[in-house]
Amino acid sequence: MAETFDTLTAVTALERFGEGSLSPEALVDDCLGRIARDNPKVNAFTCVNEVEARRLAEKSAQRWQAGAPLGPLDGIPVTIKDLTLTKGLPTRLGSTTTAPDGPWEVDAPISRHLRSAGAIVIGKTTSPEFGWKGVTDNPLHGITRNPWNIELTPGGSSGGAAAASALNLGLLHQGSDAGGSIRIPCSFTGTFGIKPTFGWVPQWPASAMSTLSHLGPITRTVTDSALMLNVMAQPDPRDGYSGNPHGPNWLTPPPVDLRGWRIAFSANLGYVEVAPDIAQRVEEAVAHLEELGATVERVDPGFSDPLRTFNKLWFAGATQALEKLDEQQQAALDPGFLDIARRGQDVSLSDYLAARRERSELTAHMAAFHQQYDLLVTPTMPIAPFAAGHNVPPGGAHRDWMDWTPFSYPFNLTQQPAASLPCGLDSQGLPVGLHLVAGKYQDLKVLQAAQLLERYLPLLTPPSLA
């Protein structure tokens, strides 16, 4: 029987490349075969880079045989989100308003850094139009589905990356997160993803959502995300917003335990209604933090829901897209996106500046909070995945996607590092995410705590799609 790599990690693949027990050609061939088998069911890819991936895998195999890999990711198949420029591959932003023939002549910083490290871009993954919402469907590529149940959404906006990661269709996956777009789909698909502190990972072109938007990895394990960050989080002169471009060694091993750490556990931020079965899985995961020696205190961070503040900034950012489109193109947009963009036109300059002030106040509040606590832990999502093709759970009272993602967007306002770690299954057998948040530039605390917790928690693998 041919070897398959449904759960292979990038770290293990690199070890096997080095010892000669696996070739990049075999790995890429297997990934492409499973993409051909599984992608029609989940619609995670906008395009597959088959011919070029095979050519690059052959070159990588020759380098490994010569003992001279190109870089720390040589031969590893990766995916890039459709919002990210990738030379030679279409970046359509999930929109029929974009040109189908490019030209696609430039790599964004992330694409360039990954390729320079030897990674093989195996394809581009789906996003909602312009990455505007917390689920993944768009007028150009249709609906992306959850590998755990294809009737359900994988979340978004990095839903294609998360679905591909859950199925290991490629080993490392790039996501972006301006309001939860890495952490929402990671929670819904049982994968790990981190929104690093704003400024670590360069962005160009700048997001329409400006300094709300963070770029980061989505993977099946914490260490694979750290491996990816060691490559992604490098400076690029095109990024006009870089805050602290020289990052740590993201692969710094965790401590033996968490003795001396003070962790705040907030089950609901003081104002969120959480499904009981999700709350139970989160409680069980938090108990492991205590087993690791941390002092865990049940305490809310002490802020009220900043949704109005977030929406003013988000809607105003969405409005920028309309300025470039004529009436016919606007009519072709996702109706939900068109709605929030037009609502953004009603945000006055005074309201916008007030939202920025409120944002700075929340940022200062959380900076003071993290003077006392190494981490804040919450659920990632208060609800389970719902029917695909809907922006909000059908039959509920929610109007916008932000209404059902209350744990994620506050920490885009504050630009803190925040990750979602799978912590078990709910009563329906669907993944639950644990949300880990640290103070700005304290990303290693998130990664190291997650690595230690991961040892207590099962690796989640979706049921067969056959």
Catalytic residue among 111, 157, 176, 420: 157
pLDDT at res. 2: 59
pLDDT at res. 247: 83
Do 217 and 224 touch, CB atoms closer than 8 A?
yes
Alpha carbon 239 to chain centroid, angstroms: 20
Q: Is 54 helix (H, G, I), strand (E, B) or coil?
A: helix
pLDDT at res. 244: 61
For a pLDDT cut of 90, what percent of the chain falls above it?
93
Alpha-carbon distance 242 to 373, whole Å?
Answer: 26
The contacts of residue 45 (CB under 8 Å, 6+ apart) are 35, 39, 79, 123, 124, 125, 126, 160, 164, 169
Alpha-carbon distance 342 to 322, whole Å?
Answer: 8
Side-chain-facing half-sphere of 321: CA atoms under 13 Å:
30
pLDDT at res. 1: 42
Q: Is 210 labeled as catalytic in the residue annotation?
A: no
404-457 pLDDT per residue, tens: 999 999 999 999 999 999 999 999 999 999 999 999 999 999 999 999 999 999
Catalytic residue among 181, 225, 266, 420: 181
Rg of the chain, C-alpha, whole Å: 21
Q: Is 157 labeled as catalytic in the residue annotation?
A: yes
Q: Is 181 labeled as catalytic in the residue annotation?
A: yes
Helix pair angle (276-291, 443-454), 10° resolution: 100
Q: How do strand 172-177 and strand 77-81 relate by DSSP bridges?
A: parallel
- Residues of the chain scoring pLDDT < 70: 1-2, 243-245, 466
Indicate the burial class of 133 (C-beta count within 10 angstroms; 0-12, 13-18, 19 or more): buried
Catalytic residue among 23, 81, 312, 445: 81
Extract the tokens encoding 206. Answer: 């700048």
Alpha-carbon distance 270 to 148, whole Å?
Answer: 30
Do 162 and 193 touch, CB atoms closer than 8 A?
yes
pLDDT at res. 396: 82
State the virtual CA torsion across 91, 193, 339, 363 in degrees, nearest 10.
Answer: -120
Closest C-alpha to 262, from 413, 458, 420, 442: 442
Query: Looking up tokens 């189908």, which residue turns up?
Result: 100
pLDDT at res. 210: 83
